[in-house]
Amino acid sequence: MSIVAPHNGHGAQVGPPLWLLAELTYQCPLHCVFCYNPVDFAKHEDELPTADWIRVLREARAIGAVQCGFSGGEPLQRNDLEVLVAEAHALGYYTNLITSGIGLNEQRIGRLKEAGLDHIQLSFQDSTREVNDFLSSTRTFDLKRKAAELIKGHGYSMVMNCVIHRLNIDHIDRIIELAVELEADYLELANTQFYSWAHLNRDQLLPSREQVERAEATTNRWREKLGKKMKLFFVVPDYYERRPKKCMNGWGNVFLTIAPDGVALPCHTARMLPGLDFPSVREHGIREIWYESEGFNRYRGTGWMKEPCASCPEKEKDYGGCRCQAFMLAQDPAAADPVCDKSPRHAELVATVDRLQTPREDAPAIPLVFRGRKESLAAETLF
């Protein structure tokens, strides 16, 4: 996703939350091994009712939010989705639905279009029924193809998103071919980043360096061939970078996520961070949450940084990377993201990546963990 916005993390002035991500539910018919929902999602099942979501939409719009994403889980699981889209549209948001397509049918897409839905992003797990269905632990491939036809049939441009990892990266040629066949306008080939469920399955999901290079070369060949017909985005796994990403475009800078239970977060995985009390929209207004809460201010701008970030000339370029990744890899949310080769913990990450280059002999003995309610309730780790 891209956003061009005034930077506001440095200095006293904090800009508005331009992007509101409404994670309507953690419910999902799929069981993806790389799901970005918290591993303990089943412990946060008390979903906000419609009236609270409408209040959130109004309050965020009033302080300047313009993009609204409805995601989850699978947002189509909420039967008030049409009501919320209509409200968001009436308020002047550009409305995006981020969906697996499961639950989309002729009636539903008709009602969403009527409600003013601007855009739909459809996710796939792979180009073949076998792998798609295996990775999501469901029989959904044909349903997704049907959803793609409905999306195009209702005059929407289509952004297809396929999460890439070791088990499907070698099918990238066929994945792109499928996107062409389905007349996608944009295709995001996003390598999984290692948070939540993907982190649990990291050893099986990290592609090798050679696989990434091959996939990128294939993508480039298609780019030349397709020209302007379809835009291709290829996102490399962070673990292969030497500088961290400007995560969420800066903490509390443009993104405001509301989790299904009403907890407001600077990003959808921030809930894992220790010692931070994120406010709930059940108790606080959006303006107060965005501008005044401790959770949104903690890593805003550059004042919180330690070395090597504090004196780094690039600190405003990437804001030290991702706080969650720093916590997961360096056990300190205020550390430099170990993806950065200036981080004292970078060598450890390189060693991990090197170790994972060749699948272990005993790899089949380590089972993939499919996202599920039972697994979530049993989970001890939070990321």
Partner 1 sequence: MQTRETDTNTLPRIARGFRLQWEPVQSAHVLLYPEGMVKLNASAGEIMKRCDGTTRVEAIVLDLEKTFSTTGLERDVRAFLDIATEQRWIEWA
Interface positions with partner 1 (CB under 8 A): 1-6, 16, 18, 63-64, 66-67, 69, 92, 94, 96, 118-119, 121, 156-157, 159, 186
Rank residues 209 and 223 by Cβ distance to partner 1 and give the closer one. Answer: 223
Q: Distance between CA 169 and CA 365 in Å, rounded?
A: 22
Q: Identify which of residues 16 and 244 has a Cβ nearer to partner 1 in the complex.
A: 16
Output the CA torsion 207→338→243→171 (10° steps). Answer: 10
Q: Which DSSP string do the residues of 90-109 spell out, in sequence order?
A: HHTPEEEEEE--TT--HHHH
CB of 127 to partner 1, least distance (A): 22
Q: Which is nearer to partner 1, 291 or 304 (CB)?
A: 291
* CB count in 10 Å sphere of residue 316: 15
Residues 82 and 76: their CA atoms lie apart, in Å, by 9
Minimum CB distance to partner 1 smaller for 64 or for 303: 64
In this structure, the chain runs to a length of: 383
Q: Among candidates 162, 117, 140, 114, which has minimal Cα distance to 28?
A: 140
Cβ within 8 Å of residue 131, ≥6 positions away: 125, 167, 168, 171
Minimum distance from residue 74 beta carbon to partner 1 (Å): 18
**Cβ distance to partner 1 smaller for residue 174 or 287:** 287
φ, ψ dihedrals at 88, nearest 5°: -60, -45
4/51 with CB nearer partner 1: 4
Provide, rounded to whole angstroms, the least separation between the CB of residue 51 and partner 1.
25
Rg, Å, the chain Cα set: 20
| Shorter beta-carbon distance to partner 1: residue 47 or 188 | 188
What would the DSSP string read from start to end of 28-84?
A: -S---TT--S-TTGGG---PPPHHHHHHHHHHHHHTT--EEEEESS-GGG-TTHHHH
Looking at the Cβ atoms of 122 and 263, the one nearer to partner 1 is: 122
CB of 176 to partner 1, least distance (A): 19
Nearest approach, Cβ of residue 92 and partner 1 (Å):
6
Specify the amino acid at residue 355: R
Q: Which strand (E) or helix (H) includes residue 359?
A: none
Give the three-state DSSP class for 89.
helix
Q: Least Å distance between CB 156 and partner 1? A: 8
In the complex, minimum distance from the CB of residue 289 to partner 1, in angstroms, rounded to a whole number: 16
Q: What is the C-alpha to C-alpha distance for residues 206 and 14, in angstroms, rounded to an integer?
A: 37
Cβ at position 58, least distance to partner 1 in Å: 14
Residue 352: beta bridge partners? Answer: none
Tell me the closest approach of the beta carbon of residue 109 to partner 1, in angstroms: 16
Choose between 160 and 175: whose C-beta lies nearer to partner 1: 160
If one counts every other C-beta atom within 10 angstroms of the C-beta of residue 349, the result is 20
Torsion angle defined by CA atoms of residues 283, 287, 293 and 298, in that order, rounded to the nearest 10 degrees: 140
**Are 301 and 291 in contact, with CB atoms under 8 Å apart?**
no
Return the closest-CA partner of residue 164 out of 206, 223, 122, 130.
206
Nearest CA among 6, 5, 19, 7 for reference residue 257: 19
Q: With respect to partner 1, which residue has the nearer C-beta, 119 or 146?
A: 119
Q: What is the token pair recorded at 160? A: 């297809």
The CB-of-314 to partner 1 minimum distance in angstroms stands at 24
